[in-house]
């Protein structure tokens, strides 16, 4: 028995020694040992052998300080790796004291060359230190660590995944006596916490590669940390902070007169209508600006973003309209975590009205009441039921998908070719509903006159070299966000400045699909690491009319006929690019329908997605032959 | 050496730093700015004190670029003092600024420097506020004075510089930049022991940088002034203002370098050149070593921005900046018995000559000039992927102030590399497969083309991705396979890239015809200049040429119905030609083009565009094949 206890003690001691790092008196191994580099990582210019970031906060009594360690070792595998990693500047904190800073180069034969202290540069009048590794050659390991004394940092995030592989990553932070330290880690960071020390480690983290339409940042290995005085920090704690924040200032008389002036207490008006009236008033009369006095927002017509939240909740409370706070992440930046409430990751704060099943988005001034924020569509979220303030409950739900048919861009183009068979003129009318419409309505109020032509060109002809000859907007007033019959409309006339006309003897060709604007090609992007993620479902419809120049005829309209689909497991079409073309009199009439009725597609479906995107590119580059009549 | 370059354009920094607020409100503007210099001799040394004053009108308080001010200075050489600033609201309330901070400029590649700025924010700015800013700056190094740019990042109603110069000081000055259609009023008067010079411009539009603009020094009117000499108790002291004086100053800065033991430098030179007999081979071995083993890390504090570090130290540390690399290279060449010298040079960033601007403002770089086989080689080891003995693109056409000895120097012009030395050659064999083209391509890249490709290729973590980007730069739906690269090194041997490709949907088919564009590479098709919008000249990185030869095998059952006419174009910027020929069962197309200019001034935009239009039209010519 004695032996057993002894053995357990030894094992535990070893485990904790193996995991917990001394921070204040951190030292590197005088004879360094690193993990072997796997063969698949040897093609990178460098590999991170060690990346340790350790925090020790000391708060209480007379202490208010932190010790911080950063220890990094990188193996240089190519000449380009040297210039990329041979310089270090420590300048991102209010450093009170450097307890230790050591820098060395380890040669392939194991010889260690430590940088003398006097070669570390101290910037005058600052706490910054800088150094460059000396004598570095391909095959060397460059290594440094520092221990600094600083003020405690109570919240933050650390990303460990980089554009080169990382073999050994460690994050460590202690718990302090007066508050709890909370952490959450993702994408391969393993929790190895012991008692009062939170530890996360990871080995062999692959290098990341940024992909289009992917949740790149959300997929990286990282750790969040923050402290809170609650003994347990959960979603109720999060709710309490949010509630207290939203109800911090009393402005009852302002709210009362606002409600009365707009007759929002009229019982014959529906909840939907009341919220709409409130929102339209705010967006048409207020400006986001400095404002120190919440009670004066109506009078001064200025409010801060936070005050939009106060105002929404105050009016809803006053009118006794039930609402739920909803919190989610920007799905491209962070995965929603049901286990841990991480305030820094919960960037999408919404107000959900259960009666109408619609949302208010207080921190996006351009968003009308209705759809959730674009970055949270179809993302997991927490919904707080606060009907009983004493007994708030919550549930995790996906924020509903928005309707594709409410996010539609519809364009009709009339193309005329000049008598010179070179000049191409286009009249285009584009109508927008949903997110784009709301965003455009907001943006055009802030675009200067000198940039307005570019706005028109970029949004209706996507990067085409063209001269905007005239333009007009319709239904640009904010209130039209609530009227589906009045989509935001851009009408423009342009003269194309790039070459759409080709020659073939006495005949000509026109690459008519260019009227859609430049399109992406995925022909070269054959492999995929991440699933495809889109912000929200959307549909684009294009009607293209080409006036056939007199003396010419067109025969190959079939060249513009495309049909690519993406189907789900139920065989429903969830993605489509379909074009039809026909000749009516002296006009070529083309109808194009493109939609993405999904926000998430497994990477196994990438080829179907790629084919669809490529079909759009091919349509964009397809041409019609204008045959000169004899 | 880069220090001056940065401080020179200090005020423009705000434009890029502060973001570009867009607004439908009236634009903010500078009502008045004035820099007054008092230049005298005090305590036997030049005393140069600037008093700067500026008044702005605020159009949109949300425009972040006008909310505060930054005053740049080089800590070792300049002192900023007496900063005073306030705003006056439309209702006439005065708000003095509070906190004045000091920051470090973030300057791209420079790792350590002492270029700092004082900054402050105006308080309670409203639309219609006026801001007033004043400061003084003392210059401790009479050689390093700043230029005065009349225009600014906002429209400016009045811009004035005044030099009040004591009789004990002789100055020189020159207006640079494009002054066509600009009116600068100049006045000179004597007042007691002082001569007062002033230059004044009114009602100027804001100055902006556009894509591929050269540096402001090319087009924005500015005054460069310098102290030629001053009189003190010991007599007349020369400063700069003549090339002799400038060289004398430079020579002083390097007289004490290379005092450390250089045994290692010598040994390394011997190791690199052992067995080599020709000077050019030895020079290449040494250059390749410095270029690839010494990493660019710039330490530019104080005179450290001007004096090369010890060659022995640079060799040991394996890093340095341009002057450190130039010095090590120079020392190693000497040990190899090759004639070489250090040379000061202004890159193409600076649009000056020594004759026009005999001041350190002309230079921002250092190279080594070696003389081998009666030829000057301009060796710039900072060009990480340059092939020996090529120059780097950014010093082409510039003057190198080359040391001969402590007193003598020589100004040598770096050649502009002609387009036929920077070449992309492509040979393509193509056949038809249904409505796809299938081909084999063999490419050779030489000169700056090779350098440019290798810089991207070597630096990337994903070489196949880089190659894919290269292949699809003109036609995105091309699909490539069996890629092979050769000579992706720093030799003069052209880089070879071979690949097979398939191009789907390229052919248009009618009842009995196949139509296709035979030209598959479209250099400059997107190079039209928007004449209505563009305000600044356009700079090309280097002169270049392309030569593509296509051989299309005519598919079975078809014959040629139409070949486009041959094309020829020659103007000041381009020579281009395309020839079409049927040879047996193939169509051979030769597409040649060279672009022969580094700078396109505004008055040449139309000519440039006409050439682009004509060339692009040729890219859109189709061949017609008809069923037999």
Cβ contact (<8 Å) for B24 and A449?
yes
Longest alpha-carbon distance in chain B: 99
Contact at 8 Å (CB) between B591 and B552? no
Q: With the C-alpha atoms ordered B610, B612, B617, B621, is the resulting torsion angle positive or negative?
A: positive
Residue linked to tokens 């001041």: B359
Tell which phi-psi region holds residue A429, choosing left (phi > 0), alpha (psi between -120 and 50) or beta: beta
Q: What is the pLDDT of residue A435?
A: 97
Tens-place pLDDT, residues B264-322: 999 999 999 999 999 999 999 999 999 999 999 998 888 989 999 999 999 999 999 99
- What's the order of all strands across the beta sheet hosting B101-104? B68-74, B115-121, B101-104
Optimal mutation site among B325, B622, B626, interface A, most CBs of chain A within 10 A: B622
Q: CA distances (Å), B359 to each of B321, B398, B553, B579, in order?
A: 22, 15, 62, 52
How many whole angstroms separate alpha carbon A486 and alpha carbon A483? Answer: 5
Report the residue from B295, B468, B471 with minimal CB separation from A82: B295
| Cα distance between the two ends of chain A | 108
Q: Which long-range contacts (CB under 8 A, 24 or more apart) does A14-18 make?
A: A15/A194, A16/A194
Cβ contact (<8 Å) for B624 and A505?
yes
Optimal mutation site among B109, B456, B620, interface A, most CBs of chain A within 10 A: B620
Partners of residue A554 on adjacent β-strands: A626
Average pLDDT, chain B: 93
How many whole angstroms separate alpha carbon A18 and alpha carbon A275? Answer: 58
Cβ contact (<8 Å) for B471 and A82?
no
Optimal mutation site among B113, B268, B505, interface A, most CBs of chain A within 10 A: B505
pLDDT over 90 at B33, yes or no: yes
Please count the other Cβ atoms lying within 10 Å of the Cβ belonging to residue A38: 12
Contact at 8 Å (CB) between A322 and A297? no
Q: What is the mean pLDDT of residues A9-37?
A: 75
How many whole angstroms separate alpha carbon B194 and alpha carbon B197? Answer: 10
Helix residue spans in B433-517 (DSSP H):
448-459, 463-471
pLDDT over 60 at A163, yes or no: yes
- Measured CA angle at B329 (ends B328, B334), to 5 deg: 100
ipTM of the predicted structure? 0.88
Contacts of B378 (CB under 8 A, 6+ apart): B343, B367, B369, B389, B391, B395, B400, B412, B414
From the CA of B455, how many Å to the nearest CA of chain A?
10
Q: Which residues of B touch A131 (CB under 8 A)?
A: none
Q: What is the mean pLDDT of residues B339-352?
A: 97
Q: What is the pLDDT of residue B15?
A: 31
Q: Which of residues 368-427 of A touch B (CB under 8 A)?
A: 422
* DSSP symbols for B302-361: GGGGTSPPPHHHHHHHTEE-HHHHHHHHHHHHHHTT-EEEEEEE--TTS---TTT--SGG
| Type and span of the H or E element at A318 | helix A305-318
Q: Is A338 exposed, middle or buried (0-12, 13-18, 19+ CB in 10 A)?
A: exposed
Lowest-confidence pick of A14-28, B14-28, B188-202, B390-404: B14-28
Report the residue from A445, A465, A509 with minimal CB separation from B508: A509
Q: What is the mean pLDDT of residues B130-139?
A: 98
Q: CA distances (Å), A601 to each of A372, A399, A574, A575, B274, in order?
A: 21, 17, 10, 10, 62
How many whole angstroms separate alpha carbon A72 and alpha carbon A167? Answer: 11
Q: What is the pLDDT of residue B14?
A: 32
Helix, strand, or coil (residue B619): helix
pLDDT over 50 at A7, yes or no: no
Tens-place pLDDT, residues A387-407: 887 899 999 999 999 999 999
Q: What is the mean pLDDT of residues A106-125?
A: 92
**Measured torsion, CA atoms of residues B247, B251, B252, B253, in degrees rounded to the nearest 10:** 100
Tens-place pLDDT, residues B462-475: 888 899 999 998 99
| Type and span of the H or E element at B550 | strand B544-553
* DSSP symbols for B267-295: HHHHHHHTT--SHHHHHHHHHHHHHHHSE
pLDDT over 50 at A18, yes or no: no
Tens-place pLDDT, residues A194-218: 988 999 999 999 999 899 999 999 9
pLDDT over 50 at A159, yes or no: yes
A499 touches chain B (CB under 8 A): yes
Q: With the C-alpha atoms ordered A284, A287, A288, A290, is the resulting torsion angle positive or negative?
A: negative
Q: What are phi and psi of B613, to 5 degrees?
A: -60, -45
pLDDT over 50 at A15, yes or no: no
Cβ contact (<8 Å) for B319 and A134?
yes
How many whole angstroms separate alpha carbon B68 and alpha carbon A442? Answer: 27
Q: What is the mean pLDDT of residues B89-108?
A: 91
* DSSP symbols for A101-116: EEEEEE-TTS-EEEPP
How many whole angstroms separate alpha carbon A382 and alpha carbon A520? Answer: 36
Give counts: helices (H), strands (E), chain A: 10, 35
How many whole angstroms separate alpha carbon A433 and alpha carbon B69? Answer: 42
Q: Is B203 exposed, middle or buried (0-12, 13-18, 19+ CB in 10 A)?
A: exposed
Q: Which of residues 246-285 of A touch B (CB under 8 A)?
A: none
Average pLDDT, chain A: 92
Q: What is the pLDDT of residue B24?
A: 67
pLDDT over 80 at B430, yes or no: yes
Q: What is the pLDDT of residue B247?
A: 97
Contacts of A154 (CB under 8 A, 6+ apart): A57, A226, A227
Q: Which two tokens stand for residue A317?
A: 């409370």
Cβ contact (<8 Å) for B296 and A617?
no
Q: What is the pLDDT of residue B458?
A: 87
B8 band by pLDDT with thresholds 50, 70 and 90: very low
Helix residue spans in B360-477 (DSSP H):
448-459, 463-471
pLDDT over 90 at A230, yes or no: no
Q: What is the mean pLDDT of residues A421-440?
A: 97
Q: Which two tokens stand for residue A572?
A: 């429903």
Tens-place pLDDT, residues B510-538: 889 999 999 999 999 999 999 999 999 99
Q: Which residues of A touch B624 (CB under 8 A)?
A: 504-505, 507
Q: Which residues of A touch B511 (CB under 8 A)?
A: 555
Contact at 8 Å (CB) between B249 and B240? yes
Cβ contact (<8 Å) for B508 and A164?
no
Tens-place pLDDT, residues B213-223: 999 999 999 99
From the CA of A521, how many Å to the nearest CA of chain B?
6
Q: What is the mean pLDDT of residues B26-51?
A: 96
pLDDT over 70 at A148, yes or no: yes
Q: What is the pLDDT of residue A92?
A: 63
Partners of residue A147 on adjacent β-strands: A69, A100
pLDDT over 50 at A475, yes or no: yes
Tens-place pLDDT, residues B65-95: 889 999 999 999 999 999 999 999 999 999 9
Contacts of B373 (CB under 8 A, 6+ apart): B279, B280
pTM score of the predicted model: 0.91
Residue linked to tokens 């207006």: B175
Q: Which chain B residue has its CA at the smallest distance from A105's CA?
A: B317
Cβ contact (<8 Å) for B508 and A625?
yes
Cβ contact (<8 Å) for A618 and B477?
yes
**Measured torsion, CA atoms of residues A378, A381, A386, A391, in degrees rounded to the nearest 10:** 140
From the CA of A618, how many Å to the nearest CA of chain B?
7
Q: What is the pLDDT of residue B12?
A: 34
Question: Between residues B492 and B12, which one has the greater pLDDT?
Answer: B492
Q: What is the pLDDT of residue A143?
A: 98
Contacts of B538 (CB under 8 A, 6+ apart): B212, B213, B214, B529, B599, B600, B605, B608
How many whole angstroms separate alpha carbon A559 and alpha carbon B595? Answer: 36
How many whole angstroms separate alpha carbon A375 and alpha carbon A335? Answer: 12
Q: What is the pLDDT of residue B408?
A: 97
Contacts of A625 (CB under 8 A, 6+ apart): A504, A507, A508, A509, A554, A555, A556, B508, B510, B515
Count how many pairs of residues, chain A against chain B, have C-beta atoms within 8 Å. Answer: 140
Q: What is the mean pLDDT of residues B27-34?
A: 96
Q: What are phi and psi of B297, to 5 degrees?
A: -135, 120
Report the residue from A447, A521, A617 with minimal CB separation from B22: A447
Q: Which two tokens stand for residue B29?
A: 């503007």
- Which of A208, A189, A187 lies closest to A199, judged by CA? A189
A2 band by pLDDT with thresholds 50, 70 and 90: very low
């Amino acid at each position: 028995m004695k032996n057993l206890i002894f053995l357990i003690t030894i094992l535990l001691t070893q485990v904790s020694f193996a995991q917990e790092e001394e921070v204040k008196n951190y030292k590197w191994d005088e004879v360094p040992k690193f993990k072997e580099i796997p063969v698949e990582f040897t093609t990178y210019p460098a590999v991170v052998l060690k990346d340790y970031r350790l925090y020790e906060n000391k708060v209480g009594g007379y202490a208010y300080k932190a010790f911080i360690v950063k220890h990094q070792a990188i193996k240089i595998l190519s000449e380009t790796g040297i210039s990329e990693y041979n310089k270090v500047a420590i300048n991102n904190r209010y450093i009170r004291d450097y307890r230790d800073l050591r820098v060395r180069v380890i040669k392939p034969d194991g010889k260690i060359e430590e940088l003398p202290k006097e070669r570390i540069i101290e910037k005058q009048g600052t706490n910054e230190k800088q150094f460059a590794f000396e004598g570095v050659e391909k095959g060397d390991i460059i290594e440094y660590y520092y221990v600094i004394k600083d003020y405690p940092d109570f919240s933050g995030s650390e990303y460990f995944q980089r554009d080169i592989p990382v073999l050994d990553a460690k994050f460590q932070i202690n718990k302090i006596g007066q508050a709890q330290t909370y952490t959450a880690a993702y994408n391969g960071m393993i929790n190895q916490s012991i008692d009062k020390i939170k530890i996360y480690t990871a080995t062999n983290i692959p290098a990341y590669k940024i992909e289009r339409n992917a949740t790149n940042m959300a997929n990286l290995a990282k750790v969040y940390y923050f402290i809170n005085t609650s003994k347990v920090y959960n979603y109720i704690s999060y709710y309490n902070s949010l509630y207290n924040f939203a109800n911090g200032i009393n402005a009852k008389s302002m709210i009362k007169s606002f409600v009365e002036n707009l007759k929002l207490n009229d019982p014959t008006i529906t909840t939907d209508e009341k919220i709409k009236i409130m929102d339209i008033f705010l967006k048409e009369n207020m400006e986001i600006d400095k404002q120190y006095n919440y009670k004066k927002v109506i009078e001064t017509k200025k409010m801060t973003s936070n005050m939009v939240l106060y105002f929404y909740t105050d009016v809803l409370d006053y009118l006794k309209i039930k609402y739920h706070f909803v919190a989610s992440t920007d799905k491209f930046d962070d995965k929603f975590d049901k286990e841990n409430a991480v305030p820094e990751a919960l960037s999408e704060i919404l107000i959900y009205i259960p009666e109408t099943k619609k949302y208010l988005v207080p921190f996006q001034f351009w968003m009308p009441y209705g759809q959730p924020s674009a970055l949270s569509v179809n993302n997991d979220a927490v919904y707080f039921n606060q009907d009983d303030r004493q007994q708030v409950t919550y549930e995790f739900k996906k924020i509903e998908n928005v309707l594709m048919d409410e996010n539609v861009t519809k364009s009709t183009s009339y193309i005329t070719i000049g008598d010179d068979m070179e000049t191409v003129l286009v009249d285009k009318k584009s109508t927008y509903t949903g997110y784009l419409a709301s965003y455009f309505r907001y943006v055009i109020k802030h675009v200067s006159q000198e940039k307005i032509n570019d706005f028109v060109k970029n949004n209706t002809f996507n990067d085409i070299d063209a001269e905007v000859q005239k333009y007009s907007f319709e239904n640009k007033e904010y209130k039209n966000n609530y009227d589906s019959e009045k989509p935001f409309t851009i009408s423009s006339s342009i003269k194309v400045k790039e070459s759409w006309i080709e020659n073939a003897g006495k005949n000509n060709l026109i690459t008519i699909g260019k009227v859609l604007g430049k399109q992406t090609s995925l022909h070269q992007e054959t492999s995929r690491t991440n699933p495809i993620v889109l912000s929200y479902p959307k549909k684009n419809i294009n009607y293209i009319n080409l006036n056939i120049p007199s003396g010419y005829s067109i025969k190959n309209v079939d060249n513009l006929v495309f049909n690519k689909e993406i189907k789900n497991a139920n065989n429903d079409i969830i993605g489509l690019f379909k074009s039809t073309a026909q000749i009516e009199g002296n006009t070529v009439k083309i109808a194009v329908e493109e939609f993405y009725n999904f926000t998430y597609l497994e990477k196994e479906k990438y080829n179907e997605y790629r084919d669809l995107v490529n079909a759009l590119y091919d349509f964009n580059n397809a041409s019609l032959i204008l045959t000169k009549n004899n | 050496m880069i220090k001056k370059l940065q401080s020179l354009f200090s005020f423009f920094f705000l434009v890029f730093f502060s973001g570009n607020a867009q607004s439908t409100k009236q634009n903010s503007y500078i009502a008045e700015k004035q820099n007054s210099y008092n230049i005298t001799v005090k305590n036997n040394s030049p005393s140069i004190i600037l008093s700067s004053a500026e008044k702005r009108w605020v159009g949109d308080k949300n425009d972040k670029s006008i909310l505060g001010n930054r005053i740049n200075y080089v800590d070792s050489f300049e002192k900023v003092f007496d900063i005073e600033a306030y705003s006056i609201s439309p209702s006439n309330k005065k708000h003095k600024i509070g906190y004045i901070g000091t920051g470090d400029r973030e300057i791209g590649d420079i790792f350590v420097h002492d270029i700092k700025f004082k900054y402050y924010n105006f308080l309670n700015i409203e639309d219609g506020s006026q801001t007033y800013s004043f400061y003084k700056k003392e210059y401790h190094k009479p050689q390093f004075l700043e230029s005065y740019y009349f225009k600014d990042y906002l429209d400016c109603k009045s811009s004035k510089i005044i030099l009040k110069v004591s009789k004990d000081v002789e100055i020189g000055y020159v207006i640079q930049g494009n002054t066509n259609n600009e009116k600068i009023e100049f006045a000179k008067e004597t007042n007691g022991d002082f001569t007062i010079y002033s230059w004044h411009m009114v009602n100027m539009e804001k100055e902006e940088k556009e894509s591929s603009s050269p540096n402001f020094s090319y087009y924005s009117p500015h005054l460069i002034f310098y102290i030629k000499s001053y009189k003190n108790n010991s007599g007349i002291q020369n400063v700069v203002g003549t090339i002799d004086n400038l060289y004398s100053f430079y020579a002083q800065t390097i007289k004490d370098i290379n005092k450390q033991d250089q045994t290692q430098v010598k040994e390394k030179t011997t190791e690199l050149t052992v067995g080599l007999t020709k000077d050019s081979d030895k020079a290449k071995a040494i250059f390749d070593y410095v270029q690839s083993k010494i990493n660019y890390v710039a330490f530019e504090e104080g005179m450290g921005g001007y004096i090369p570090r010890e060659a022995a130290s640079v060799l040991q540390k394996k890093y340095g900046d341009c002057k450190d690399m130039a010095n090590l290279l120079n020392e190693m060449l000497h040990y190899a018995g090759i004639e070489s010298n250090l040379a000061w040079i202004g890159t193409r960033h600076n649009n000056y000559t020594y004759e026009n601007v005999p001041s350190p403002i002309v230079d921002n770089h250092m190279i080594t000039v070696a003389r081998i086989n009666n030829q000057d080689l301009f060796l710039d080891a900072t060009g990480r992927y340059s092939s020996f003995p090529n120059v780097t693109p950014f010093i082409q056409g510039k003057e190198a102030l080359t040391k001969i000895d402590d007193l003598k120097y020589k100004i040598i012009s770096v050649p502009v590399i002609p387009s036929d030395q920077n070449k992309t050659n492509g040979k393509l064999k193509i056949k038809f497969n249904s409505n796809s083209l299938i081909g084999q391509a063999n490419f050779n890249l030489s000169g700056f083309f090779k350098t440019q490709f290798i810089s991207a290729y070597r630096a990337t973590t994903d070489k196949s991705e880089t190659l894919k980007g290269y292949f699809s730069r003109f036609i995105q739906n091309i699909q490539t396979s069996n890629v092979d690269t050769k000579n992706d090194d720093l030799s003069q041997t052209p880089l070879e890239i071979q690949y097979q490709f398939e191009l789907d949907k390229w052919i248009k088919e009618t009842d009995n015809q196949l139509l296709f564009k035979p030209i598959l590479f479209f250099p400059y098709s997107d190079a039209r200049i928007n004449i209505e919008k563009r305000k600044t000249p356009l700079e090309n990185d280097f002169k270049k040429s392309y030569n593509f030869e296509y051989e299309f095998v005519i598919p079975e059952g078809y014959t040629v119905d139409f070949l486009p006419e041959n094309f020829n174009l020659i103007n000041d910027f381009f020579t281009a030609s395309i020839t079409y020929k049927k040879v047996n069962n193939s169509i051979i197309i030769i597409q040649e083009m060279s672009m022969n200019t580094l700078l396109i001034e505004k008055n040449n935009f139309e000519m440039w565009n006409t050439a682009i239009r004509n060339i692009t039209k040729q890219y859109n010519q189709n061949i017609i094949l008809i069923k037999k």
